[in-house]
Amino acid sequence: MKRYMVKPGTKVDLSSWDPNDTGDFDDGKKEAKEQSYELVERLSELQKVLYAEDKHKILVVFQAMDTGGKDGTIKGVFLGVNPQGVRVVGFKKPTPEELAHDYLWRVHRHTPGRGQIAVFNRSHYEDVLVVRVHNLVPRKVWERRYDHINEFERLLAEEGTTILKFYLHIDLEEQKERLQSRLDRPDKHWKFNPADLNERKLWPEYTKAYEEVLSRTSTPGAPWFIIPANRKWYRNLVVSRIIVDRLEGLDMHYPEADFDPENIIIE
C-alpha cells in the first residue's frame, strides 16, 4: 500500500497516477471483496481497542472531485464500527458564524479526542481548492494557507493524532458515467446537482489545485494517499488496508483491570 502514498517533498502529476489501477486483482474482484469484508471486521476489532484504551486519536480525511466516491468509501470502510467511537463530519459551504472566524476554526473543533476516530468528508483543504479555483480570495491569501495547514496538522500529530489523508482519484470519463447514472435512476436524482456540470468544466483547474495540495501538504506526520477510485471495490480495499495497517502499528491493547476478576462475586 505504500506505493499509493505521496512521498513528502515530491511533486505530484496526477496524469501519472492510474485511476483504473487494481493492483494484483485484475481478474480477482471476488477475492478483493472477500478481503475487504475481512478488513471491515478487523477495523471493527481495532476500533473497540482504540475506544477502550482511550489513548490514541485518529483523523481520516477524504477529498475527491465531484462523484469521486467519498460517501461510498466511508460507508463501505466503516461499515462495522461502533457509532459511539466514530464521527463523520461533512464540510459544506461555510455558515455566517464560520466565516466570522479564521478558516480553520470550524475544522479544529471537530478533530478527534482520545479513543475516537473522526472522518472528514471534505475538509480544511476546500480553502485551497474551491476557494482557489473560484477566486473567492486573492492568491496571496490562499497561497499562505498551505503553510497554515501543515502547521495545523503538525500540531495535531504532535498532540497524539494519527492523520491519514485520502485523495480518491477518478478520471473525467468515470465522472461522466457517474453523473449520467444519477440522471438515469430516479432513486439517485436527489444526488444530482445541475451546478456539478459547471464544476465539471473546471476539471483542469481543480486538477492543478489538487496537484499542488498533494505536493505541498503530504508530510511525514500527515501523508496523502492517492487512491485509484474508478473501481469502487478496489478503492475500498486499499483504503481499508491502509487504515488497518496504521491502527495495527499503534500496538494498542485493552487496559488491564485494576481489580482481580476472580475475587468478584455477583450475587
pLDDT in tens, 52-61: 999 999 999 9
Q: How many CA atoms lie within 13 A of 217 on its CB side?
A: 29
Helix (H) or strand (E) holding 239: helix 232-248
pLDDT tens, residue by residue, 163-176: 999 999 999 999 99
Confidence of residue 24 (pLDDT cuts 50, 70, 90): confident
Are 76 and 18 contacting, i.e. CB atoms less than 8 angstroms apart?
A: no
Confidence of residue 1 (pLDDT cuts 50, 70, 90): confident
Are 58 and 118 contacting, i.e. CB atoms less than 8 angstroms apart?
A: yes
Distances (CA, A) of 39 to 26, 34, 107, 215: 20, 9, 29, 29
| pLDDT for res 128 | 97
Residues 168, 93: Cα–Cα separation, whole Å: 21
Residues 163, 60: Cα–Cα separation, whole Å: 6
Helix (H) or strand (E) holding 90: strand 86-90
Residues 250, 108: Cα–Cα separation, whole Å: 23
Model confidence at 101: pLDDT above 80:
yes
Range 90-97, long-range pairs (CB < 8 A, 24+ positions): 90/121, 90/122, 91/120, 91/121, 91/122, 91/123, 91/124, 91/126, 92/122
Are 61 and 122 contacting, i.e. CB atoms less than 8 angstroms apart?
A: no
Query: What percent of the chain stands above pLDDT 70?
Result: 100
Are 35 and 49 contacting, i.e. CB atoms less than 8 angstroms apart?
A: no
| pLDDT for res 90 | 95
Average per-residue pLDDT for the chain: 95
Hey, CA dihedral for 250, 6, 222, 62, is it positive or negative?
negative
Q: What region, left, alpha or beta, does residue 167 occupy, with left being phi > 0 and alpha being psi -120 to 50 degrees?
A: beta
Q: Which domains does the chain have, with CATH numbers?
A: 2-250 (3.40.50.300)
Confidence of residue 27 (pLDDT cuts 50, 70, 90): low
What letter does residue 191 receive in the DSSP assignment?
G
Q: How far apart are the first and last CA of the chain?
A: 52
Phi then psi for 235, rounded to 5 degrees? -55, -50
Instruction: Please compute the mean of the pLDDT values over residues 21-28 and round it to a whole number.
Output: 82
Look at residues 163, 174, 183 and name the one whose alpha carbon lies nearest to residue 224.
163
pLDDT tens, residue by residue, 63-92: 999 999 999 999 999 998 998 899 999 998
Are 17 and 216 contacting, i.e. CB atoms less than 8 angstroms apart?
A: no
pLDDT tens, residue by residue, 130-151: 999 999 999 999 999 999 999 9
Model confidence at 39: pLDDT above 90:
yes
pLDDT tens, residue by residue, 214-261: 999 999 999 999 999 999 999 999 999 999 999 999 999 999 888 888
- Look up residue 12 and give its three cell numbers: 505530484
